[in-house]
Amino acid sequence: MSFKVELDMNIKIILTFLIAVTMSGCASLGSYNAATGRQELIFISTPQEVAMGQTVHKQITATEKLSKDSELIARVNRIGKKVASASDRQDYQYHFYVIEKNEINAYTVPGGGIYIYTGLLNELKSDDEIAAVLGHEIGHCAARHTVKKFQAALGYDFLSEIVLSKVDQQMQQLAAMGSGAVMTLVTSAYSRSDEYQADQLGLKYMRRAGYDLNGMVKSFEVLAKEGGGGSTPLILRTHPYIADRIKAVKEEIAKSHN
Ligand SMILES: [Zn+2]
């Protein structure tokens, strides 16, 4: 998308938002993000984000198979909930899903849904390593990276419906996109700065929840090793810059020991 088109779209969105604010008498433009410590212009409210997550979940489970391994599901939920309880963002519930597929993959969707594949879980040895992968995803949720990614990709019509709170139309539109398009959006890459921030938040939540921070380095080394074999694991498509991130995380851990 060209800069001009993007600029025009932002102006249109802001105008629509201002009209909606005037009509509804609601005065808050932007909201404080506890994870990033910044004011941010996110148009999608938490209830709208949760509704989006439910629609996206239907599309994911239309193509991917949820695991029936109750022991593994319980383990992922135990670790995930422990780390999530340390998250800066507590205005929705986190949900953890295990997908039965031999793929090195994990991602998050709007509304706090976090998906991890058995192919990745088979490579992660300790609870600390699983906590690191889930903590990183929780970091993306807490900093609203996922909803920001969706907001940027969905376009003007969708956002104007969001702003005007036409929830049913939004969800119909999202459902009409089909699982392929939604999966492409779910598995599109985050920016480098969002990746670093999710790592930092993940480490913070791991520390608060009592996990060994070195689990993050180990989990990244698993991904880097898998990435060395020719085919790139899907998780690296969503979460790139792994070599730089290993270095940054090691520095962050060293700092926390001082
Ligand atoms: Zn990431």
Q: Which residues contact 244 (CB under 8 A, 6 or more apart)?
A: 192
* CA distances (Å), origin 116, targets 12, 112, 172: 37, 13, 27
Task: State the distance from the centre of ligand 1 to the C-alpha of 20, rounded, in angstroms.
Answer: 33
Q: Where does 87-239 have alpha helices with state H?
A: 118-121, 127-142, 145-154, 156-163, 167-176, 178-186, 192-209, 214-227, 234-238
Angle (CA) 252-256-257 rounded to 5° is 120
Task: State the distance from the centre of ligand 1 to the C-alpha of 202, rounded, in angstroms.
Answer: 10
Task: State the distance from the centre of ligand 1 to the C-alpha of 145, rounded, in angstroms.
Answer: 9
| Per-residue pLDDT band at 3 (split at 50, 70, 90) | low
C-alpha 58/C-alpha 225 separation (Å) is: 32
Angle (CA) 111-121-125 rounded to 5° is 125
SS3 per-residue string spanning 207-239: HHHCCCCHHHHHHHHHHHHHHCCCCCCHHHHHC
C-alpha 167/C-alpha 45 separation (Å) is: 11
Q: What is the mean pLDDT of the chain?
A: 84
Task: State the distance from the centre of ligand 1 to the C-alpha of 204, rounded, in angstroms.
Answer: 15
229-239 burial code (b ≥16 CB/10 A, e <16): eeeebbbbebb
* pLDDT higher than 90, residue 207: yes
Task: State the distance from the centre of ligand 1 to the C-alpha of 18, rounded, in angstroms.
Answer: 32
| Per-residue pLDDT band at 257 (split at 50, 70, 90) | confident
Task: State the distance from the centre of ligand 1 to the C-alpha of 19, rounded, in angstroms.
Answer: 35
Tell me the sheet residues that pair with 231: none
Question: Could you tell me the sign of the dihedral formed by the alpha carbons of 234, 77, 84, 48, in that order?
Answer: positive
Angle (CA) 4-166-162 rounded to 5° is 35
Domain ranges of the chain: 3-257
Judge contact between 117 and 101, C-beta under 8 A.
yes
C-alpha 168/C-alpha 173 separation (Å) is: 9
The pLDDT assigned to 42 comes to 77
- Which position has the token pair 């239309």? 62
Give the model confidence (pLDDT) of 160-181 as tens digits: 766 666 677 777 777 777 778 8
Task: State the distance from the centre of ligand 1 to the C-alpha of 188, rounded, in angstroms.
Answer: 10
Judge contact between 56 and 186, C-beta under 8 A.
yes
Task: State the distance from the centre of ligand 1 to the C-alpha of 240, rounded, in angstroms.
Answer: 7
C-alpha 41/C-alpha 33 separation (Å) is: 10
| Per-residue pLDDT band at 86 (split at 50, 70, 90) | very high
Task: State the distance from the centre of ligand 1 to the C-alpha of 23, rounded, in angstroms.
Answer: 37
* pLDDT higher than 50, residue 65: yes
C-alpha 114/C-alpha 67 separation (Å) is: 14
The pLDDT assigned to 28 comes to 42
Over range 214-222, report the average pLDDT. 94
Task: State the distance from the centre of ligand 1 to the C-alpha of 16, rounded, in angstroms.
Answer: 31
